[in-house]
Amino acid sequence: MKKNKFLILLILVLSWNFLTSINVSGTVYNANKVALENVIISCEGRIFFSDLQGKFFFREVSPQSKITFHKIGFKELELTVADLPAEILMEISVIEIAGMKITSSTRDQRLQENNPVRKISLQESAFRKSLSDILRQDGSLQIRGDGLTGEAQYVVIPGFKPKHTLVMLDGIPLNRTGEAFDISTIPAEIISEIEIYEGNALPEGSGSMGGIINIITRRQKKGNSFNLSAGTGSFGLLKGSADLGASFKSYNVNLVYSHRSVRNDFKFKPREYWDDPDSLRTRIYNDKKLQNFSLSLGNADILLPFNYTFMFQDIFKKLPGPTNNPDLFANSRLGSKSARHCLVLKKKFQHLLVENNFNYFVETAEYDNTRIKEIYHNFLDYYVKNQTDYSKLSWKSTVFYRGKNTDLGLNISCARQKFRYREFTFEEDSIPELEENNIAISSVLDKKIAFFPFSFNWNSSARFDNDEEDRQFSYNLKPELEFNSVFDLLLGISLSRSFLVPSFYELYWKGDTQAVGNPELKSETNNSSQIYSQVTLQDSWVRLAYRSDEITNMIVWFPDYNKTWKPLNISGAEIRNLAISAHFGLLQAFSLDGSVNFTETRDRSYSEAGEPASYWGKEIIYTPEYFLNLNGAFKYRKFSVHINYSRTGEQWTTRDQLSPVFKLPAFDLWNAEIYYKVPFADWEIETGLILKNLADKFYEIYEYSPQPGFNWEFNLNLKWEI
């Protein structure tokens, strides 16, 4: 009898569970409504993986059960079965660091849909920082130049020169042909995101040997907002900005104005007198003033979507020159005005995206060093006043097809650049207007094959450039293998070829008794290979990468028998980089991330006779042997603190490297940032304190170019948003 009662009770329980259980199905997407495959979905101890279309299905689960979604590069998502929508959207996994969000390798970016990229998404507090301060948080990058407002600053990939990093704004290259781009000219107030591509990852033509930095401008997506900020700091820093964002139906508009001025008259000691307490000097004639205005208009309407951006910039800089002979540059100055117009037209047709991008940029810059003492007026190389006029008109058309597991993109672009140099003190050195035209065709192919629990990704691109005097073919091949389980493993390799065309100065500089251009120069070329892996567990990850590069036809300036400097294609270089980076989420309020990069370089220069030069086998100058970067962040409600420690290894300053005295010593820096937000009615008030070089260290990144000691910056921001 007891057995019968137990059997009846068991049948009733099972029947009740069967009657109350439901079947669950749905589709998983990313923020762009692209289906996500191989998402790990767990419920009641069972695990299921989404298919190629992002779909999943569970039989007989309780409505009260929890269902969890997990995928590398995305936030883990947990929902109740009863509240599960038919379409599940997963957000990109990010690392929050004092007003910024840094993502690891993901597959959601602007320039190429399926190419690994690191992204930095800026929150409000980061808008009051400089672009160089933001990029310093990424351990794989180095910033050349003073960290002060208005000073020239360049992004450097370890082992490469600044001109080997291509900087872009909304997918439009900012570098002049063959030259580095000064990132201090980009105000942080206009930035929404920053994308970092390693190596020649995209078919963007000349200048991307080391990597690509793509800056994405802000656009008001919904509602209305107004920001007003002011700041002050060391060395006479005064800054302010105002930006207004509004949206109406499918239209959006953003207006931004910013102003920065500073004396930058910091105290320093020459390197040979760092231990002498009586050798303190002041960096004079170092004033800077920058003004920026930008306007963005957009329309997301299905019939006529477009984005238009206008940027105007007015810059004034005094340039004190090296400290070993300051009188030759006393009170020298550089002033420039520039304007940029960019129009983007997009149209979607089911699986097809058609985009046309029009860009026009014009700049006039004047350098004046005629205020030096009269005794130096006969120094013809220094007593100069000149004006440079530069303009660029470009168009790019893209057709992109997205299939279930195959993406294909085709691009055609053309650009016209004009350059003119006018010498007022010695008119015979002027260069008449020169013109350079380029037409390029490129393609992108991405293929994904899933075979549970693995997936294979094939990312490839190729580009052909046709200049008037040069033709170049570049490519990138990047196969990857992913394993998705309790932890995620990514393995990949990359093979690429890239190039850099000579600049106008290197080709056509008429010069004087000291220098002359070389119109016979060829483009630099680089063959690169990389192998990398990444392990991800929830919100923590570790990445290991090794990269090898061989550059040929590197352009180097050499003196001829008349002691006149001239650029020649007689140099080469070998660069090896080993990078280790990691992020650890410690509870909800803490995070720790860091990276270390070891660099080995070898000069492979030849003499004009074709023999190995005396520099053969030497290290490349101004390349640190290692670079360590550590970041710690704490966030509690409206309060956040960020601590940064970095150490830069020794660097050679001369190519012959005959004595250790010509090495810049290693240095380490401590920096801190503190932010606090206070809500007040419809406003949000935020204060921020930035502290740099807390240990007040003396150091140099270039010989005879001292860096500031301890300095600070305080910012106050008022934000209104509805």
275 inside domain: yes
Q: Which of 83-97, 177-191, 362-376 has the lowest mean pLDDT?
A: 83-97
Comparing C-alpha atoms, which of 384, 152, 155 is closest to residue 264? 152
Please say if the pLDDT value at position 113 is more than 50: no
Tell whether the model's pLDDT for residue 141 goes beyond 60: yes
Six-digit token pair at 232? 């002050």
Residues 302 and 437 in one domain: yes
pLDDT at residue 567, rounded to an integer? 84
| Measured distance CA(565)–CA(559) in Å, rounded | 4
**Neighbouring C-beta atoms of residue 660, cutoff 10 Å:** 9
| Top-confidence range, 149-153, 438-442, 503-507 | 438-442
Q: What is the DSSP string of 642-660?
A: EEEEEEE--EE-SSS--SG
Q: Is residue 321 domain-resident?
A: yes
As a whole-number percent, the residues of the chain with pLDDT over 70 amount to: 89
Note whether 339 and 488 are same-domain residues: yes
Q: Read off the pLDDT band of 167 (50, 70, 90).
A: very high
Domain that holds residue 415: 198-721
Q: Answer whether residue 110 shows pLDDT above 50.
A: no
User: 173, 179 in Cβ contact below 8 A?
Assistant: no
pLDDT of residue 125: 47
pLDDT digits (tens, 9 = 90+) for 62-74: 888 889 888 766 7
515-573 pLDDT, tens digit each: 778 888 889 999 999 999 999 987 788 999 999 999 998 887 766 655 567 888 877 88
Residue 112 domain-assigned?
Answer: no
- The yes-or-no verdict on residue 713 having pLDDT over 70 is yes
CATH of the domain at 84: 2.60.40.1120
CB of 493 closer than 8 Å to CB of 529? yes
The predicted model gives 144-161 an average pLDDT of 82
Amino acid at 26: G
Chain segment 234-260, per-residue pLDDT in tens: 999 999 999 999 988 888 999 999 999
Task: Return the structure tokens found at 530.
Answer: 């990389």
Is the pLDDT confidence value at 165 over 80?
yes
Q: What is the pLDDT of residues 377-423, one digit of tens each?
A: 776 667 889 999 999 999 999 999 988 788 899 999 999 999 999 98
SS3 37: coil
Q: What is the DSSP string of 281-340?
A: EE--S--EEEEEEEEEEEE--SSS-EEEEEEEEEEEEE----TTSGGGGTT-EEEEEEEE
Q: What is the C-alpha to C-alpha distance for residues 440 and 463, in angstroms, rounded to an integer?
A: 7
Alpha carbon distance 25, 56 (integer Å): 5
The tokens describing 462, both together, are 């190729």
36, 67, 89: which is the final residue of a domain? 89
> Rounded distance, CA 50 to CA 83, Å?
19
Q: What is the pLDDT of residues 631-668, one digit of tens each?
A: 998 988 889 999 999 999 999 888 888 888 889 999 99
Q: Which residue among 89, 121, 151 closes a domain?
A: 89
Query: According to the model, what pLDDT value does residue 302 have?
Result: 72
**Out of 138-152, 359-373, 493-507, least confident range:** 138-152
Residue 615 pairs in a beta bridge with: none
Q: What is the DSSP string of 72-136?
A: TTB--EEEEGGG--SEEE-PBP-EEETTEEEEEEES--SS-TTS-EEEEEE-GGGGGS-HHHHHT
Q: Is residue 285 included in any domain, yes or no?
A: yes
pLDDT-derived band at 375 (thresholds 50, 70, 90) equals confident
Residue 240: its pLDDT value, please?
94
Residue 691 in domain: yes
Q: Are strands 191-198 and 117-122 parallel, antiparallel or unpaired?
A: antiparallel
Number of domain units in the chain: 2
Structure tokens at 157: 């990939």
CATH number at residue 711: 2.40.170.20
Q: Is the dihedral of CA 548, 553, 558, 561 positive or negative?
A: positive
Q: Do 333 and 306 contact (CB within 8 A), yes or no?
A: no
Q: Is the confidence at residue 576, as pLDDT, over 90?
A: yes
Q: Which of 331, 184, 322 is nearest to 700 (CA)?
A: 322
191 found inside a domain: no
Count the Cβ atoms, other than its own, within 10 Å of residue 144. Answer: 18
75 and 202 both lie in a single domain:
no
Two structure tokens written together for 455: 């997936």
Higher pLDDT, 53 or 351: 351
448-454's contacts with Cβ under 8 Å and 24+ in sequence apart are 448/37, 448/114, 448/405, 448/406, 449/405, 450/37, 450/38, 450/51, 450/52, 450/405, 452/38, 452/49, 453/38, 453/49, 453/483, 453/484, 453/485, 454/481, 454/482, 454/483, 454/484
Q: What is the pLDDT of residue 16?
A: 44
Which tokens in the block code for residue 414?
A: 């053309």
Shared domain check, 82 and 221:
no
- Give yes or no for residue 273 having a pLDDT over 90: no
The last residue of a domain, from among 89, 111, 143: 89
* Residue 511: predicted pLDDT: 55
Structural domain contains residue 130:
no
The reply to whether 138 falls in a domain is no
Element (H, E) at 267: strand 267-268
